[in-house]
Amino acid sequence: MAGRAQLQDGADTAATHAGRLSDRDFSRICTFIHERTGIRLTHSKRLRIETGLRRRASVLRLSGAEEYCRMVFDEGGLAEEVAHLIHLATTNKTDFFRERAHFDFLETRILPEILATRPAGRIHRLKMWSAAASNGAEAYTAAMVLAAAAARGPRFDFAVLGTDISAEMVADATRAVYPASWIEPVPPALRERYFMRSQAGASEPLVRIVPELRRHVRFARMNLVGASYPVDRDVDVILVRNVLIYFDPPTQKAVVQRLAGHLRPGGHLILGHTEAAVGSALGLRQCATGIFRIG
């Protein structure tokens, strides 16, 4: 009996080990994610990564994190799993009208300045880029502010590009469907105009951005840590908020400099409130917290 109990203990331990994420595998994941995305994973993320890997392993019918990491790093499975690993490593928290002061500044300062300097008689096409767009809430917030201003006049056209490294987030953003509770921060007039309610019957009330607004907004997968960005170089406003915090200082600096190269002279770069120091350290001219005017 004692021998059998011992055997069972041994089997349990082996099973637990197969499910667990070893120090070596966590370190391999950290290195891969840092090289690929610029994100520095800290130990506080370890449990979340482990839980995600175990879930993924179970979908693939593997015994756990250990077998998953072996398949990915030793047996050539990485290419198939890159998107899952990156999604697991990213933090996608976002909101409509997050850091509202930035959108107030867009409406009351940036937009009037742009329109005042455009040649009369021509309809200006304003270009905006949400460079770590998550599920699109930021890009659609910008689009709502611009659409409402264009409806009040003077007339102008606009296009918003949203990019993110996570293919899953790009798909969500393109779908533009959100739980109804998400739109609480949206001012009531904009809520009425730019969201459709889901039909009765859905388990959770959902809303969707109306097609008239969606047609101004496009999403694509793009890595900010890539050597260059396939984006126009005369963008009026770039939002890159709450993503630099996950990068190390040299990566933060390189990303901000590359993004600044995509603005037209006098364009604005908007960083998250807690990231403003990155722009200041580069000597950029700050006009409000996190908002920099380039050139």
Ligand X SMILES: C[S@@+](CC[C@H](N)C(=O)[O-])C[C@H]1O[C@@H](n2cnc3c(N)ncnc32)[C@H](O)[C@@H]1O
Task: Tell me the closest approach of the beta carbon of residue 220 to ligand X, in angstroms.
Answer: 11
Find out whether 242 is annotated in a ligand binding site.
yes
* Shorter beta-carbon distance to ligand X: residue 63 or 223: 223
Please tell me the distance from the alpha carbon of residue 260 to that of residue 270, in angstroms, as a whole number: 10
Site size for ligand X (CB under 6 A): 24
Alpha-carbon distances, residue 35 vs 47, 174, 268 (angstroms): 21, 27, 29
Q: Find out whether 55 is annotated in a ligand binding site.
A: no
Binding segment for ligand X (CB under 6 A), chosen from 16-24, 46-54, 165-173, 228-236, is: 165-173
Between 134 and 252, name the residue whose CB sits nearer to ligand X: 134
Structure token digits, residue 264: 């037209």
37 contributes a contact to ligand X by CB under 6 A? yes
166 binds ligand X per the rule CB under 6 A = yes
For position 134 contacting ligand X by CB under 6 A, the verdict is yes
Q: Which 8-state DSSP code applies to residue 70?
A: I
The rounded distance, in Å, linking the Cα atoms of 141 and 14 is 50
Q: Is residue 88 within 8 Å of residue 53, measured between CB atoms? A: yes
**Interacting stretch for ligand X, rule CB under 6 A, among 12-20, 68-76, 93-101, 196-204?**
93-101
Asked if 171 and 95 count as a contact pair (C-beta separation under 8 A), the reply is no
Q: Which stretch binds ligand X (CB under 6 A): 17-25, 32-40, 68-76, 119-127?
A: 32-40
Question: Any alpha helices (H) in the chain, and if so which ranges?
Answer: 2-19, 23-37, 46-59, 65-69, 78-89, 100-105, 111-116, 137-152, 167-175, 188-194, 211-214, 249-260, 276-281
Examine residue 141 and tell whether it contacts ligand X (CB under 6 A): no
- Residue 135 labeled ligand binder: no
224 is in an annotated binding site: yes
In one-letter notation, the amino acid at residue 59 is V
Q: What are phi and psi of 283, to 5 degrees?
A: 80, 20
Choice between 131 and 207, CB closer to ligand X? 131
Among 41, 111, 150, 165, binds ligand X (CB under 6 A): 165
Closest Cα partner for 239 from 127, 114, 112, 89?
127
For residues 204 and 170, what is the distance between their CA atoms, to the nearest angstrom?
22
Piece in contact with ligand X (CB under 6 A), picked from 102-110, 113-121, 186-194, 223-231? 223-231
Could you say which DSSP state residue 39 is in? B
Smallest separation, CB 121 to ligand X (Å): 36
Q: Does position 268 bind ligand X by CB under 6 A?
A: no
Applying CB under 6 A, among 21, 29, 39, 269 the residue interacting with ligand X is: 39
The verdict on 225 binding ligand X (CB under 6 A) reads: yes
Give yes or no for residue 90 binding ligand X (CB under 6 A).
yes
Angle of helix 46-59 relative to helix 78-89, nearest 10 degrees, comes to: 140
Q: Which two tokens stand for residue 17?
A: 């080990």
Interface residue with ligand X among 241, 262, 268, 293 (CB under 6 A) is 241
51 binds ligand X (CB under 6 A): no
Query: Does 98 contact ligand X by CB under 6 A?
Result: yes
Write down the least CB distance from residue 130 to ligand X, Å.
Answer: 6
**CA–CA distance, 54 with 86 (Å, rounded to integer):** 15
- Residues in contact with ligand X by CB under 6 A are 37-39, 90-94, 98, 132, 134, 138, 164-166, 169, 223-225, 241-243, 246, 272
